Structure 1
Amino acid sequence: MNIIFYGSNETSVKFLEHLITKDTIAAVVTRQDKPSGRGLEMHSSPVKDFARKKKLKLVELDSLPSSNLDADLGVAVAYGRILKKDIYSFPKNGTINVHFSLLPKYRGASPMQWALINGEKTTGVTIFFIDEGLDTGKVILQKEVIIEENDDFISLQDKLVKEGVILLGEAVELINNKNFVAGEQTGTPTLAPPLKKSDGRIDWTKKTPAEICNLIKGTTPWPGAYTEMNVEENKLLKILKASLIEPDIDEAYSRDNASIPGEIVAVIREKGFVVKCRNGFLLVENVQRQNKRPSSAWAFWQGAHMKIGDRFSEIS
């Protein structure tokens, strides 16, 4: 098939790499170069770099409808822009999108992050036809993927991309052979809006230990789950890794401590420190101080001017 590919980041590249082994790429559409880094130098997207390397045709988005391209299908993967009707309907068979959730759950820009933050046990990949709504089109294929206990955004993304590449290949083949029936999305829709920095804020009063662990997993690497130290001019502290306290130990802390949420109640040698949360306690294992490199919580504790009884702030 002659395919127009829409994508921008490294994830997009992995799908494009697979497509060029089986189909003809009529054109590649990606985001415009943008300034980044300290010098604000112009940088192209990973998809643009890959397309140039493979000598694929790069086309501006707005010029597609008036172009003479012979396109059978459009494929969008992490493109980063909503396609207008004259764009997604331009190819003979329309345009399909790869979405990293089991639609209609988690429609939007950050489905993997919100699935982790919300403590989901499963998620998946959906291949669907783009229409005028936000991730509302008819579904061609879906694949469920288990979220393991130790998954964070990075590991979950790796799993979903691997499954997604395979699923996209199957979907393109079905469309090429006209051997499919696209179905309406079923179930209750939920949204997955883009993450904001404030989404990483830890509210020790409102969140349980399990909810904070999920927040850490879902906000890795950005914005990160963070709190504020009541020492050293209230600098921010990212919590990179934490784990639940064993039930019997948690019960002992609850019985012996009149602590309040956010308070450090114990230090465990070579492991980290224990913080009171809503309905329990959390063992903090790895952290990163503002403008510093990541470190173990134990190493941080040894160098920080903190003591048992100190409390992390509720950042407004």
Structure 2
Amino acid sequence: MSFVLSLARFSATVAARSCLQSPRLFSTSPSLAKELRIAIIGQSVFGQEVYSLLRRQGKNVVGVFTVPDNNCRPDPLAAQAEKDGTPVFKIPRWRLKGQLLPDVYEKYKSVKATLNVLPFCTQFIPMEVIDGAEEGSIIYHPSILPKHRGASAINWTLMEGDSTAGFTIFWADDGLDTGPILLQRSCTVDINDTVDTLYNRFLFPEGIRAMGEAVKLIEDGKAPRIVQWEGGATYDQLWQKKDVAKINWNTTALELHNFIRGSDKVPGAWTMIDKQKVTLYGSVFVDDREPVTGREIEIEGLAQPAVITQNGLVMYGSDGKKIRVTQLQLEDGRMIPANKWGREEKVEKLELSPEEEALQEKLRGIWSSILSLSIVEDQTDFFAAGASSMDVTRLIEEVKDLCDVSMDNDNVYMSPKFTEFVTEVVIRSRGGGQASKFEYEPVTIEANGRTLQFPNQLFVNGEFINSSWGKDYDCVNPTDETVICKVESASVDDVNTAVKAAKYAFEEGEWGKMNARDRGALMYKLADLMEEHKEELATLESLDSGAVYTLALKTHIGFSIDSLRYFASWCDKIQGKTIPINHARPSRNLSISKREPIGVCGIVIPWNYPLMIIGKWKLVLI
């Protein structure tokens, strides 16, 4: 008797460890694989993908129970099942006044299911249905149970700053996410993950595969039932309504970051800026060493001003550390890049070529297919028409496949209306939209028969900014001592900020990480741009330094262009050298020297011919 008990305990222990730690499972069950009659109960793209996977695996799906159509648009699960000829039942509700509706129950019983699979289900399913299948019911839940029980598990995983996320497939019982565990999977949470990125990267694709694996385990009689430990259970508040997501600024930067990304995109963390409700998206935890330069704005409840930089809106936690958001949603629903706050964007009216008009109709067809709409109007809103985050992914993939234009999620969220989206795609197809432009108020002068425009601000940390102490000085033409323009005068603080920016770029900048061929390509591009605008540059050089125009054109600009191209050609040809050292037998070690670009230089430039000095003698050191 004791041997039997010991064997049973051994089997249970191995099964439990296998379920939680490895996809290899063990069971002493002698039963052969059984023929399952599967009922899918649920909705969404996730439900559709699980259904399609089970069909591909040859499983017998006898019925799909899902939600009714939304504005004549069937749920993706319903649409796929109807296409396959699988019986589909669109159930508005399963109960009325706490009682199971008899006609609904009869529909369920008619398919004679032996296993219920609930991949994603927002409806309350009565216990008569849960227990109505011989093998019971299994449910997918996007957390590592027993932690984060409830309908907002992914939100709370991020808002609580968990370092590990995952999902559980469990056997349904009469509690809220309390049933025995069948299997679990986990992943590391990236510091800048949002609900969408975590779901799309791991919870969605791995969850689909795991649901197929769970059904196979049940089919083979090897599916464990591991009782959840109630000591580690947490129940989380539903996180869907906007009023719960107002930002409390009296928290640390990391807590702010977790709150914003845990609410991204639904319900959306919000605050008051200039007396309007603004929702913040795309939070990034900022390196302490990264300098901050830009326009300051006041945010209600924030102790110190936020700063609009070229990369977004930087805000400070109660601990003085920084976060940055990249997108803002205004009260009227419009999404804008955070660095555009307070600046009116000019809406570009495009004149489409015949080829671009054909592209527009191709895009209209893609939208029609995804949204299940017979007609897509110019003002059709992608999300108002019922699109979800998975539809965004599908849209991006189809635009890439059918139109050969690369987009990202933000492009869709920022251009939700059809005409806006068409404009974004066309601009990108023309080679635009890839990078933000430098913004500054140009100085305009007439010289040498040309209209010249150029900045007169400090250029610090990749932005044109005014000096912190509000001083400027005259830039004088040395030939006649006339004032060309006023130029911002850098303060000690400005210089310190610039040095910090250079130090950060030296340690973390992209130049040193870039491969040699790409560095050379950028230097060639700079040389080409200088050649394209050499007359303008020569005119500015002659005004600023007093050089003869023809000399500036041929020598100052020409030599700089030649130097850039010469050293650009060397970028992918400089090789390291192998230096022999003592043979540390038996390893026979070698030491290899690898040349790397410094990327940042501190240069003190005299007044005479600064462009030539930078281009010909100093920039080549890159």
Q: What are the equivalent positions in structure 2 for 1:210-229 lying under 5 Å apart?
A: 210-229=254-273
Higher helix share: 2
Sort the Cα spacing of 1:217 and 1:274 in 2 relative to 1 into closer, same or farther, 3 A: closer
> Which residue is 1:309 aligned to?
none
Q: How far did 1:42 drift?
A: 4.3
1:26 partnered with 2:67? no
Post-superposition shift, 1:194? 2.3
CA distance in 2 between counterparts of 1:295 and 1:77 reads 35
Determine the C-alpha separation between the residues in 2 that align with 1:182 and 1:87.
Answer: 20
2:245 alignment counterpart:
200
Q: What SS does structure 1 have at the residue aligned with 2:110?
A: coil
> What is the CA deviation profile of residues 43-75 of structure 1, one whole-angstrom value per residue up to 9, with x for unaligned ones?
432222222122110135554643332322100
Q: What is the alpha-carbon distance in structure 1 between the residues aligned to residue 287 and residue 267 of structure 2?
A: 28
Which blocks of at least 5 consecutive residues in structure 2 are unaligned?
A: 1-35, 95-100, 294-298, 346-622
Taking the aligned partners of 2:249 and 2:308, their CA distance within structure 1 comes to 20
Find the counterpart in structure 2 of residue 45 from structure 1. Answer: 75
Three-state SS of the structure 1 residue aligned to 2:341 is helix
Q: Which runs of 5+ in 1 are unaligned?
A: 35-40, 254-258, 305-316
Residue in 1 aligned with 2:209? 166
- 2:210 is equivalent to residue 175 of structure 1: no
Asked if structure 2 preserves the Cα contact closer than 8 Å seen for 1:272 and 1:301, the reply is: no
Report deviation, 1:4. Answer: 0.4
Aligned residues with identical type, % of pairs:
27
Residue pair 1:264, 1:273 contacting (<8 A) in 2 also: no
The one-letter code of the counterpart of 1:10 is V
* Partner SS state of residue 247, structure 1: coil
Q: Shift in Å at residue 210 of structure 1?
A: 1.1
Letter in 1 for 2:213: E
Q: 1:238 to 1:6 in 2, by over 3 A?
A: same
Q: Secondary structure at the match of 1:90?
A: coil
Change (3 A) 1:274 1:168: closer
289-298 or 155-164: which moved more?
289-298
Is the partner of 1:20 in helix, strand or coil?
helix
Compare relative contact order (CA 8 Å, sep 6+) and give the higher one, 1 or 2: 1
Q: Please say which structure displays the higher CA radius of gyration.
A: 2
Q: Which amino acid in structure 1 is aligned with residue 69 of structure 2? A: D
Work out the CA distance in 1 between the residues paired with 2:220 and 2:286: 54
Tell whether the 8 Å contact from 2:50 to 2:212 is kept in structure 1 after alignment: no
CA distance in 2, matches of 1:273, 1:168: 41
> Aligned partners of 2:328, 2:143: CA distance in 1, in Å?
29
Pick closer, same or farther for the CA change 1:12–1:192 going to 2, 3 Å: farther
Residue deviations 1:276-297 (CA, integer Å, cap 9, x gap): 4322243343322222532222
Q: Tell me the amino acid that sits aligned with residue 15 of structure 1.
A: V
Equivalences, count: 289
Q: TM-score, normalised by structure 2?
A: 0.43
Q: What SS does the aligned partner of 1:220 have?
A: coil
Aligned to 2:283: 242
Q: For residues 28 and 273 of structure 1, do their structure 2 counterparts lie closer, same or farther at Cα, with a shift above 3 Å needed?
A: closer
* Higher alpha-carbon deviation: 79-88 or 291-300: 291-300
SS in 2 for 1:238: strand
For the residue of structure 1 that corresponds to 2:327, the secondary structure is: strand
Change (3 A) 1:267 1:28: same
Say what the alpha-carbon RMSD is for the aligned residues.
2.6
Query: For 1:101 and 1:184, how far apart are their aligned partners in 2?
Result: 16
How far apart are the structure 1 equivalents of 2:113 and 2:333?
Answer: 50
Among 60, 74, 88, the residue aligned to 2:130: 88
Amino acid at match of 2:243: S
Task: Rate the CA distance shift 1:20–1:297 in 2: closer, same or farther, 3 A.
Answer: same
State the shift of 1:299 in Å.
1.5
The structure where strand makes up a greater share of residues is 1
